[in-house]
Amino acid sequence: MDRLSTRVAVATDSNSGITQMEAKELGISVLPMPFMINEETFFEDITLSQEEFYEKLKGGANVVTSQPSPESVMEFWKDILKEYDEIVYIPMSSGLSGSCQSALMLSEEFDGKVQVVNNQRISVTQRQSVLDAMLLAGRGMNAAEVKDFLEKDKFNSSIYIMLDTLYYLKKGGRITPAAAAIGTMLRLKPVLQIQGEKLDAFAKARTSNQGKSIMINAIRADMENRFGGAKADNIWLEIAHTKNEEAANQLKEELLKEFPGFDIAISPLSLSVACHIGPGSLAIACCKKIT
């Protein structure tokens, strides 16, 4: 097939934080992730809004993330291939969900027309991968070339997340009840990190201000030591949060003083992350810009 006439679609899942409405504006497709809430299935941004999700969480509902069914993934791709020749599909990090591995297996049925990107991204960094994929496809790359580029670029991003509560980590079995009790008693604000594979502990803060300082210093160190410099023409800088918009806006003002000239976007964290960490979190993320 003539490279110039190859129509390459970019698709992702709702872990990217891209809503169905935004997807239409961007010209991409977003697969909604399923959630089991009190044993009933909901789909992110289709039958489950951010507001409804937090209401159910607050009410003590049992919220569990789930993988899309193989049938729904394949139908999603088949619909896209009615209009396009190839798909670059960017799911959430394989270190955080099995859905990436499932997608890689399912893509084998599509004779190379579906290229699944395993680039260890989630939330705002996954969203940036989608925007990068669109840019690369616009430059004339085919789906396999875009996949290759994004996977080589995968570790050029960082996320640091400060939690407001340890309750949801304890509920999900990610920390012991004893550790949660001590942390709650001391009013600790854990700072977690996502560097590729999975969510890991990074530091413990006694106050929100200390937690923000830890995240700002960590993101600056990554920019300068790993990504070639803390410059607006080199780095995308982003804030994410779980039901904490006012604090996110305040953090933006603080970041603009630290990093003048940056265009800082604010987005809600994906519900798949939110169900493990609960409301009230703040995150700072950065991605190296592609050239």
pLDDT at position 181: 56
Q: Which of 160-169, 232-241, 277-286 comes out lowest in average pLDDT? A: 160-169
Of the pLDDT bands very low, low, confident and very high (cuts 50, 70, 90), residue 275 is confident
* The pLDDT of residue 93: 74
pLDDT at site 88: 98
Three-class secondary structure of residue 36 per DSSP: strand
Whether the Cβ atoms of residue 126 and residue 18 lie closer than 8 Å to each other: no
pLDDT tens, position by position, 126-147 = 999 999 999 999 999 999 999 9
Percent of the chain with pLDDT over 70: 90
C-alpha separations of 172 from 43, 47, 62, 176, 180 in Å: 20, 24, 10, 10, 12
Distance CA 288, CA 250 (A): 24
pLDDT tens digits, one per residue of 209-232: 999 999 999 999 999 999 999 999
Secondary element (H or E) of residue 86:
strand 86-90
Residue 198 has pLDDT above 90, yes or no: no
Q: What is the mean pLDDT of residues 55-67?
A: 89
End-to-end CA distance of the chain: 27
| Residue linked to tokens 């507001």 | 51
pLDDT tens figures, 144-191: 999 999 999 988 999 999 998 877 876 765 555 555 555 565 577 888
How many Å apart are CA 135 and CA 70, to the nearest integer?
A: 29
The four Cα atoms 14, 18, 20, 22 give a dihedral, to 10 degrees, of -170
In tens, the pLDDT along 248-269 reads 999 999 999 999 999 999 999 8
List CB contacts of 74: < 8 A, sequence separation 6 or more.
106, 109
| pLDDT at residue 193, as a whole number | 85
